[in-house]
Structure 1
Amino acid sequence: MPNDTPEMRVSHAERDRVVEALQAAAAAGRLGAEELDARVERALSALTRGDLAALTTDLPDMPEAKEVLAIRQSGGKWVQDGRWPVPPRIDVQTQICRVTLDFTRALITSNPVRINAEMMHGRLRIVTPPGTVVDTSGLNLTFSRVKVASKDFSPDAPLRLEVSGSLLHAKLIERRGRG
């Protein structure tokens, strides 16, 4: 059964993300206080993804995620953090580069998020909200190291990151952010 159907039950983390988006829309003047309160109440009691989607469809400032985020870099560092729209797939192709993907405040609409990492002599640091599961079973390691907080892959996790690809003299490190 697909994980992105409107009938799919939502998690607390998904409800919280919609509440944050509604608060951002109110701060931008798109929602009044009374309407914000009503939508937040509906978000907190939402049962399905369809219920949540109906609360934000008329907000034009909701960033749309691309299908793929492509990170290609040699040397230096690359950081993605704050309120960024997370696509269903992230491709990381780097050499001698430190990449940070911070999902703690991100707008995540796909679950799972697939990360394909092709890295040489670098580091991929993933900052995750509580409850996230990082599955690294698809990674090929050569003189590389993986350190993740969540070792058990759960299909019911509020956010699942599936990491595949190959690391050569590289590190993948998960750090738990604040929820």
Structure 2
Amino acid sequence: MEPRIRVSDGERDRVVQQLQQAFADGRLGPGEMEERLERALTARSHGDLLPLIADLPDAPDGPDDVLRLTSTGGRIKRSGDWQVPRLLRVESEYGGVKLDLSQALVRYPEIDIELRLPYGSATIILPPGATANVDGVRTGWGSVTCALPGRARPGALHVRITGELEYGRLRVRTSRDRLGARR
């Protein structure tokens, strides 16, 4: 990184991700994490970012960053306190899928969810403030419902959802509209 070159949103996000991982690993305390995050989100040049991560290991990118959930006809459900990888691959021929990320540990500022649900449907619940891009989801007779902003925002979780739901439906919402969703 050239210290005087201006940084992009993506570069800021990568540093934020590395700081979040260091905090989750116990390398940073809450106060130091908050201070470094604020500096990372307001950084203008590489010179502003470099000191924030100079004493930290590189961000991981190994097999723990991918989770594959499969079912033929049963239901796939994840909720509560669970660890969300960088990439979730979800496959179910006929079953339903419910992924609740509202209380989960998400170490990355951006994650990807790949859906393969020929006859199944999915509900994805995100924490308040999160954004979701569903432009990569293809349906035949199904439907996609997502009222969340589609562009990433600095400091907020962004989820990219792709895949195929030939006859199923996809619904993406935040946890705060849970009660209104039960009509």
Tell me the equivalent position of 1:112. 110
- Give the structure 2 partner of residue 101 of structure 1: 99
Q: Which residue of 2 aligns with 1:6?
A: 15
What residue number does 1:122 align with?
A: 120
Q: Does 1:86 align with 2:95?
A: no
The 1:91–1:155 alpha-carbon spacing in structure 2 relative to 1, beyond 3 Å, is: same
Report Cα offsets for 1:155-177 as digits up to 9, x if no partner: 43611110111111111112311
Give the strand-richer structure, 1 or 2: 1
C-alpha distance 80-51 of structure 1, shift in aligned 2 (>3 A): farther
Do the aligned residues in 2 keep the contact of 1:69 with 1:87 (CA within 8 Å)?
yes
Secondary structure at the residue paired with 1:75?
A: coil
Gaps of 5+ in 1: 26-37, 58-63
For 1:24-69, what per-residue CA distance to the aligned partner results, in whole angstroms no more than 9, with x for missing partners? x9xxxxxxxxxxxx943444444249969x8xx9xxxxxx982211
Percent identical pairs in the alignment equals 22
What is the root-mean-square deviation of aligned Cα atoms in Å? 3.3
CA shift, 1:147, in A, is 1.0
- Counterpart AA for 1:68: V
Alignment partner for residue 169 of structure 2, among 155, 168, 171?
171
Distance 1:91 1:9 in 2: 23
How many residues are matched?
A: 148
1:44-103, Cα deviation, whole Å (9 max, x unpaired): 444249969x8xx9xxxxxx9822111111112111111211111111111111111111
Cα distance in structure 1, aligned partners of 2:150 and 2:71: 31
Task: State the distance in 2 between where 1:83 and 1:127 align.
Answer: 13
Q: Structure 2: give runs of 5+ residues left out of the alignment.
A: 1-9, 42-50, 177-183
Alignment map for 1:14-163 (pairs within 5 Å):
39-47=29-37, 48=40, 66-156=64-154, 158-163=156-161
d(CA) in 1 for partners of 2:30, 2:152: 28
Conserved 8 A contact 2:141-2:168: yes
- Which residue identity does 2:111 align to in structure 1? V
Question: Normalized against structure 2, the TM-score is what?
Answer: 0.66
| Cα distance in 1 for residues equivalent to 2:68 and 2:95 | 14
Q: Supply the distance in 1 between the matched residues of 2:157 and 2:124 (Cα, whole angstroms).
A: 13
Contact 1:65/1:87 (8 A) holds in 2: no
